[in-house]
Amino acid sequence: MSTQLLAVGEGMRVFLNFSLSLEDGSEVDTNFGGEPVNFVIGDGSLLPGFESLLFGMAAGERNLYTVTPDEAFGHPNEDNLQQVGTEQFDDDLELQVGLVLGFADASGGEVPGMIIDFDDDLVTVDFNHPLAGRNIIFDVQIHRVEPAELH
């Protein structure tokens, strides 16, 4: 009986370790050193630009990719810079540039925004993804690939 390694593709469950880093080497996220995560290709767990890089990989393979903003977290959008009156913030909150806060969105969910400027009257909040405009170094190691219906 021959055993054929299954490759990552549609309808497959993938078990992997990964890291996301910036070009300067600073690590943004990783699960190396821990248990592999698993997900089904196409279930939305991974951005399409990252997921497409996995296609054709098999158990035991490890690759390093540079993912551009177009395929990763997009480009900064000026429309995502909003000015909010200082009266919208709690009096006991110490405003500072770089502070990330949760804001309510139109659907009642929460969206993160980073304070990039403020004065006595207005606070400028950046709602762009913190990694927008950045190339991301994607290090991925595939541990197992199996048909999704096994789970």
pLDDT, tens digit (0-9, with 9 covering 90-100), for 51-62: 999 999 999 999
Beta strands 122-126 and 81-85: pairing type?
antiparallel
Check if the beta carbon of residue 128 is closer than 8 Å to that of residue 113.
Answer: no
**pLDDT at site 150:** 66
- Dist CA 128 CA 133 (whole Å): 9
3-class SS of residue 31? coil
Phi and psi angles of residue 40, each rounded to the nearest 5 degrees, phi first: -95, 130
> What is the token pair recorded at 17?
């370790």
- Angle at the Cα of 66 from the Cα atoms of 60 and 67, rounded to 5 degrees: 105
pTM value is 0.81
Q: Does domain 78-126 have CATH number 1.10.3720.10?
A: no
Q: Which of the four CATH numbers 3.30.43.10, 3.90.1150.10, 3.10.50.40, 3.40.50.1370 does domain 12-73+132-150 have?
A: 3.10.50.40
2 pLDDT above the threshold of 50: no
- In this model, does residue 138 exceed pLDDT 50? yes
